[in-house]
């Protein structure tokens, strides 16, 4: 074999070694392995105890959903709601027959039709998509939590009231501005109470007995002190 053949062989081996070396150096530039602070996989119970893992699983299963308004409505104070509603007055009037501002007049809006009959007020297409629906406490709850969440693209540029109790107070205030609104509100509260009872324990004899002061057991025992 002529010597230049050997030269070619040696040259190709050297080239291969250099390419391997350079690509190794380049690779460490491109990829930076990072040491993990914690193992990615935690066996259940390893980190925060079994309860923590369970809670985390429950949280993952339920993407943040707004809690129903019923329980908060039970403790709602329309007077407080009226005070909170001062922030709404920048855009809304609340009195009967008062003019529309940036937003429509809200007298009687509780229980009323969505985006309708507001003295010619021009609602956005986003809110008009809800034509035919009524402003129930449940809908007002979502709306007042985040208007965009209820009607994506609405022109009510209000960030919302994050505390559930504030929303309940405002809804209770709105209910006072609708004839018969208080009755609707009471119904929602009662439904929520009944639901809560069913979830916690088997329903007692009288589902309407919301007050624990009424001793149901006393009635059963003839000898007890019940009047």
- Contact residues toward ligand HEC (CB under 6 A) are 85, 87-88, 90-92, 102-104, 106, 109, 114-115, 118, 123-124, 126-127, 135, 144, 154-158, 161, 170
Q: Find the shortest distance in angstroms from Cβ 103 to ligand HEC.
A: 3
12 versus 157: smaller Cβ distance to ligand HEC: 157
Q: Contact 181/174 with Cβ under 8 angstroms?
A: yes
Nearest Cα neighbor of 175 from 163, 183, 167 is: 183
Rounded CA separation 24/20 (Å): 6
Q: Find the shortest distance in angstroms from Cβ 123 to ligand HEC.
A: 4
107 versus 192: smaller Cβ distance to ligand HEC: 107
CB neighbours of residue 226 within 10 Å: 12
Q: Find the shortest distance in angstroms from Cβ 145 to ligand HEC.
A: 10
Which string of b and e fits 20-30 if b means at least 16 CB within 10 Å? eeeeeeeeeee
Q: Find the shortest distance in angstroms from Cβ 167 to ligand HEC.
A: 8
71 versus 108: smaller Cβ distance to ligand HEC: 108
DSSP 143-169: HHH-HHHHSTT-S-------SHHHHHH
109 versus 189: smaller Cβ distance to ligand HEC: 109
Q: Find the shortest distance in angstroms from Cβ 144 to ligand HEC.
A: 6
Specify burial of residue 144 (Cβ count, 10 A radius: 0-12, 13-18, 19+).
Answer: buried
Q: Which two tokens stand for residue 39?
A: 């193992």
Q: Which two tokens stand for residue 221?
A: 């025992």
52 versus 128: smaller Cβ distance to ligand HEC: 128
């Amino acid at each position: 074999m002529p010597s230049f053949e050997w030269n070619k062989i040696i040259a190709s081996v050297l080239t291969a070694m250099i390419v391997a070396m350079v690509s190794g150096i380049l690779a460490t530039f491109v990829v930076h392995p990072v040491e993990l602070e914690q193992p990615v996989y935690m066996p259940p119970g390893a980190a925060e105890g079994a309860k923590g893992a369970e809670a985390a699983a429950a949280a993952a299963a339920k993407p943040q959903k707004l809690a129903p308004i019923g329980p908060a409505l039970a403790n709602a104070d329309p007077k407080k709601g009226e005070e909170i509603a001062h922030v709404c007055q920048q855009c809304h009037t609340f009195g009967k027959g008062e003019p529309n501002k940036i937003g429509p007049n809200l007298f009687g809006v509780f229980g009323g039709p969505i985006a309708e009959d507001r003295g010619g007020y021009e609602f956005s297409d986003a809110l008009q998509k809800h034509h035919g629906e009524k402003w129930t406490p449940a809908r007002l709850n979502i709306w007042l939590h985040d208007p965009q969440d209820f009607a994506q693209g609405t022109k009510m540029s209000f960030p919302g009231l994050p505390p559930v109790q504030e929303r309940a107070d405002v809804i209770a205030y709105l209910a006072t501005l609708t004839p018969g609104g208080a009755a609707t509100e009471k119904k929602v509260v009662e439904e929520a109470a009944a639901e809560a009872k069913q979830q916690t324990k088997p329903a007692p004899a009288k589902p309407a007995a919301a007050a624990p002061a009424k001793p149901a057991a006393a009635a059963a025992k003839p000898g007890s002190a019940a009047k």
